[in-house]
Structure 1
Amino acid sequence: MRRADRLFLLIHALRGRRHAITAQQLAQTLEVSLRTIYRDVADLQRSGVPIEGEAGVGYLLRKGADIPPLMFSPDELEALVVGSRFVHAFGGERLGRGATAALLKIEAVLPAELRARSERTRIFAPQLGNRIESSGLIDALHGAVLEQRVLRLLYRDGEARASERDIEPLCLSFWGGSWTLGAWCRLREDFRSFRPDRIVEYAATGEAFVETRERGLHGYLRSVGAQGLDAG
């Protein structure tokens, strides 16, 4: 996390609170060390941010230092909370951290009644250690999509037939119970959708690819508009 983002989250974590929040709580929320929290708070205080309190006691923003809260309807707020829970559970570690940070920013500036509503929603997305999202594979594939890295897969299709493929990964799609990786398959010389749970092995080839309209995301989405989404 960039330091600027961390300082922003730190300020928002303090907003709208009646009681002090401890450095330990802040450290757990931001996933940093106590020493980092102490240093960041001191730097913010020196820069003029009206933070009151001290190490070992807790911190508060001085009364009157708050900004007008974000305004959401109860349904809009619940949608954001539930959406962040689903991303945290099913989006992999990278997006999960982003969803947690985004929700922290939102809840920190909510009026008390809406913050209470966000805590009462009863739609959950429990994280399970045996799901593919906990393996790191979704994060790795996501990174390859973003960085346009060619991947070499050992892949088994629906009939357990194995093949080695060099692919240009274009997108990930979540279907509620499973994921697919949309890609240009160099073996088939066509677009294919691969299920991550059928990838036996994968590795970056060290090659980057250049996406074009015909052989990139636009072409892939057009190709699967009315077709099945399993690799053949």
Structure 2
Amino acid sequence: MRRADRLFQIVQLIRGRRLTTAEFLAQRLEVSIRTVYRDVAALQQQGVPIDGEAGVGYRMRVGFELPPLMFSAEEAQSLVAAVRLAQPQLDAVLEQRAEEALSKILAVLPGTARAAAESLTVYALQRGLDEATRARLTQLRQATESRNKLRLSYLDLNEQTTSRVVRPLACFFWGPVWTFSAWCELREDFRSFRVDRVQQLEVMDERFRDEPGKTLADLQRLDSAREDWA
């Protein structure tokens, strides 16, 4: 990869994430961490507003924009495939937004790239989510974004129903099943719940703030530690 191309990829990767470490960039670009440090420093010297430092991580300053990008035929096909495969498993709002975004991308492609994308013979034939799960997934995703607590009635794997108040942290797709992770105020610990086993769901007016030991980052660190121990 030419250095100019690598610098462009670094900008794209950093602007697409909240915080990007040098280790992540090195793995994605297949270069050394020292090379990443030099490239980021060069971009900063050229006026690209990258905040952060080596050993911590980088983020793009708010307001930085690049000119519109053009996709190759293969990249356009990848986007079409991703939307087709994901749509049956998304909630109704995200499904519609994905279709709208894809339409906007296809509309500005050159004729050959657009034809290649639209003629892609890759489809998702599995059944999508039932309407009840779709509705709950929308509520869960929106509550996670707005940081509203949830009151739910949940049927566990032992067929026992419990009522809980939780702080939703993230939703995860496991093939045919959606789960969400939360801080459970009943158990005073992290818990994962299957969306299709939620019997009743109420988005509460009460909002929550990050507290040490109760955040998604804390959960991810625990999961990483368990994997290392195993």
TM-score of the two chains, using structure 1 as the length reference:
0.62
CA RMSD of aligned residues (A): 2.5
In structure 1, stretches of 5+ residues that fail to align are: 1-67
Percent of pairs identical after alignment?
A: 37
Partner of 1:74: 73
Answer whether contact 1:183 1:220 (CA < 8 A) is retained. no
Letter aligned with residue 108 of structure 1: A
Partner of 1:117: 116
Give CA deviations for 1:114-138 in whole Å, capped at 9, x if unaligned: 1111111122125846635764111
Letter aligned with residue 124 of structure 2: A
Partner of 2:184: 185
Counting only pairs closer than 5 Å after superposition, residues 1-232 of structure 1 correspond to structure 2 as: 70-126=69-125, 128=127, 131=130, 135-225=134-224
Answer whether contact 2:179 2:192 (CA < 8 A) is retained. yes
Letter aligned with residue 154 of structure 2: Y
Distance 1:168 1:114 in 2: 44
* CA 213–73 in structure 1, closer or farther in 2 if over 3 Å, else same: farther
Partner of 2:60: none
Q: In terms of Rg, which structure is larger?
A: 1
* CA 129–85 in structure 1, closer or farther in 2 if over 3 Å, else same: closer
Answer whether contact 1:91 1:133 (CA < 8 A) is retained. no
Distance 2:212 2:115 in 1: 47
Distance 1:103 1:127 in 2: 21
Distance 1:145 1:222 in 2: 19
Distance 1:140 1:163 in 2: 19
Distance 2:222 2:194 in 1: 17
Bigger relative contact order (CA 8 A; separation at least 6): 1
* CA 115–155 in structure 1, closer or farther in 2 if over 3 Å, else same: same
State the 4+ residue runs in structure 1 displaced beyond 4 angstroms: 126-130
TM-score of the two chains, using structure 2 as the length reference:
0.63
* CA 215–129 in structure 1, closer or farther in 2 if over 3 Å, else same: closer
Answer whether contact 1:90 1:133 (CA < 8 A) is retained. no
Tell me, what secondary structure is at the counterpart of 1:102?
A: helix
Answer whether contact 2:89 2:128 (CA < 8 A) is retained. no
Give CA deviations for 1:154-203 in whole Å, capped at 9, x if unaligned: 11111111111110001001112111111000011001111101111111
In structure 2, stretches of 5+ residues that fail to align are: 1-66
